[in-house]
Each structure stands twice: as structure tokens, then as C-alpha cells.
Amino acid sequence: MPDIVQQWADRAARFAAAAHDLCGKHETSKTSRVISLTETWRELEGLSLLQESLVADALRCVERGVYRAAHVMAWAAFMDFLQSKLASDGLRAVHAARPAWKKFGTVEDLRENIVEYQLLEVARDVGLLSKPATKSLQGMLSKRNECAHPSAYEPGLNEALGYVSALLERMRTLRAKSI
């Protein structure tokens, strides 16, 4: 008898996954689209515990319809990832590209003293980002700023999912690169 129950449970799970896959492609299916993004997140490797926590927070924000906060949390995860990547060589490449920054000996010093826009530029200068990727990320930083500060911008489900997904893809791409 337990085998039959397990078979039906497996069938139900496969049906639910197929239904979410199909429904996730339609505008009106919020739950399925969020589940699809959550599955994508689960497949990521190489994130620190903090980054995983920030991405999870962004996804919970999307699930609850708090789209501005989702942008902010996803950006925080991305920046932590990028800053860690910049520090992966002990900041040698960063200091070579920006000699005036030698007074900043740790990634925490950079976080406290250098604005994110400049960190994106130095990431390009040390070879982590291409010029088009840098420009795209600078636009995403502007979007994050609109969400983090009073503005008329009110993103919806599509914008929030697209934003989180794009940053996750950038992290996947950057994971394979080294300074």
C-alpha cells in the first residue's frame, strides 16, 4: 500500500511542476512565475550564506508583492557578490586600477567609502565586466535607487522578476571569471 501512495504523491508532484511550468509563462499566474524563479535560485551555486539570504529575501518580497523591496534586496546580494569578487585577490587588481584606493585595505573599507557606481567602473577596469555589462548594471543601480528612495516608480511583478533574474544571471556569469 505505501508504494501506491508514493506513486500517487510522485505523480501529483510532477503534475504540479508541469502546471507551474506552463502557467509561469502567462501574465496572470503570479504564483507559478514566482515558483519558477525560486527554482532558478535553488540551482545557483557559489553564493555565500549572506548572498543566499539576500536573494531569498528578494524572492520573499516578490512572493508578497513588495516589488520595490525586492529590487533593493536583489541589488544588495549582487553588490556583496561583486565586492567579494573584487576582493578575491586581496584587492591587488583594484589597487592597481585605483592607486588612491590603497588606503582601503579590506572589502569592508571599500563598502564604507566607495559608492557602488565607482565599484562597477573598477570591476570593468579589472576585467570582471565588459563596457556594455557595466552600463547595464549602472542602469540597474539607478532602478534600485528609484526603489530605495521616494519616487513615483512602482514596479510590478514583471519588473521585479526580471530585475532579480537579471542579477542572478550576472552573478552566474561573474562566478566563472577571475581577476
Alpha-carbon torsion angle 143, 64, 45, 81, nearest 10: 30
Q: How far is CA 108 from CA 88, 128, 142, in A?
A: 13, 19, 23
- Average per-residue pLDDT for the chain: 87
Quick one: CA torsion of 44, 45, 49, 50, rounded to 10 degrees?
-60
pLDDT for residue 59 is more than 60: yes
pLDDT at 14: 74
Q: Where are the domains of the chain?
A: 44-175
Question: pLDDT value at position 47?
Answer: 86
All residues at 6 or more sequence positions from 4 whose CB lies less than 8 Å from its CB, including other chains: none
What pTM was estimated for this model as a whole?
Answer: 0.79
Q: Which CATH number fits domain 44-175: 1.20.120, 1.10.3470, 3.30.450, 2.60.120?
A: 1.20.120
pLDDT in tens, 119-138: 999 999 999 999 999 999 99
Confidence of residue 46 (pLDDT cuts 50, 70, 90): confident
